[in-house]
Amino acid sequence: MAEKWAGLIFHGIGVPKRDLEPGEAVYWIPVAFFEDILDAVQALPMPFHVHLSFDDGNQSDHDIALPGLLARGLKADFFVLTGRLGQPDSLDASRIRALQAAGMGIGSHGVDHRNWTTLDPDALHHELKASRNALETICGRPIQMAGVPFGAYSARVLRSLAATGYACAYTSDGGFMQPDAFLRPRSSVRRDMKLNDVIDILKGRIGFKGRLRRSLGMARKRFF
C-alpha cells in the first residue's frame, strides 16, 4: 500500500498587522490554537506522517511558527508570495533565509496571490517563473515546490507548473497525500475550527460523501 501523509496548511498566526484580503481573516488563528495543534501533532504515535505547511509568507511564519516548530522538533514547508517580500507583516529575505537555515522547506506561492486558473499564458508564466527566480536568488538553491493559491488549479495550470520546473504542487483539496506524487492535497486550518476538527483531519476521519466530493472535485480540476 502506498504511503500516505496528512497535510495541514496554516496562514497567519496571532493578530495581523496589515489590512487583510477579503475572506482572509478566517485563516488567521490564535497563537494558543496553533500551539495546541503542534502539541497534538507531536503527540501522534510513530510512525505517523504529517506534512505541515504555511502559505502566503506572513511574518508570523518566522516570528511565531518557527520557534514553535523548533521547540517540538517539527519541520514544515513555507510557500511565499514574492510580491509581498519586505512589506509590512510579511517575510523578507533575511527571515526566509532563517527559515531555510533552520531546516524548513521554501516554496513558491506565486507573486501576487492570484487565481492561476484565470490567467492568460503569459501572466501565468510570470507568476510561476518570477516567484521561483526571486526565491532561488534568496535561498541560493533550486525552488521545486509550489503551493497553489486558493486551491484553484486546472490541467493547464498543472502542465505549466511541470513545464516551469516544479516537482510538486500542494493544494487545499483535503484528505491524505502521497509524498512522492506531483499533486499533494492538504487541509486548511481556520479560526472557526476546534482542536478535535484538526485531529479528525490528521486521522482521516471523513465520511463517504466527503471523500466522494473530494475525489470528484480533484478529478474535475486535474483533467479540465
Predicted local confidence at residue 84, as pLDDT: 98
The DSSP element (H or E) to which 135 belongs, if any, is: helix 121-139
Predicted local confidence at residue 224, as pLDDT: 59
Q: What is the pLDDT along the chain (224 residues), one digit of tens a residue?
A: 468 899 999 999 999 999 999 999 999 999 999 999 999 999 998 768 999 999 999 999 999 999 999 999 999 999 999 999 999 999 999 999 999 999 999 999 999 999 999 999 999 999 999 999 999 999 999 999 999 999 999 999 999 999 999 999 999 999 899 999 999 999 999 999 999 999 999 988 765 445 545 454 555 566 65
Residue 77, Ramachandran bin (φ over 0: left; ψ between -120 and 50: alpha; else beta): beta
Predicted local confidence at residue 205, as pLDDT: 76
Predicted local confidence at residue 207, as pLDDT: 55
Predicted local confidence at residue 204, as pLDDT: 84
Number of H helices and E strands in the chain, helices first, is 8, 11
Torsion of CA 112, 114, 116, 122, to 10 degrees: -50
DSSP assignments along 194-223, one per residue: -HHHHHHHHTT---HHHHHHHHHHHHHHHH
- In 3-state terms, the chain is what percent helix, strand and coil (to 5)? 45, 20, 40
The answer to whether the beta carbons of residues 57 and 88 sit under 8 Å apart is no
Predicted local confidence at residue 46, as pLDDT: 74
Could you tell me the CA-to-CA distances from 33 to 1, 29, 192 in Å, in that order?
34, 7, 11
Predicted local confidence at residue 212, as pLDDT: 46
Q: Is the dihedral of CA 28, 29, 35, 37 positive or negative?
A: negative
| Residues 67, 71: Cα–Cα separation, whole Å | 6
The answer to whether the beta carbons of residues 127 and 111 sit under 8 Å apart is yes
| Residues 183, 186: Cα–Cα separation, whole Å | 10
pTM above 0.75, yes or no: yes
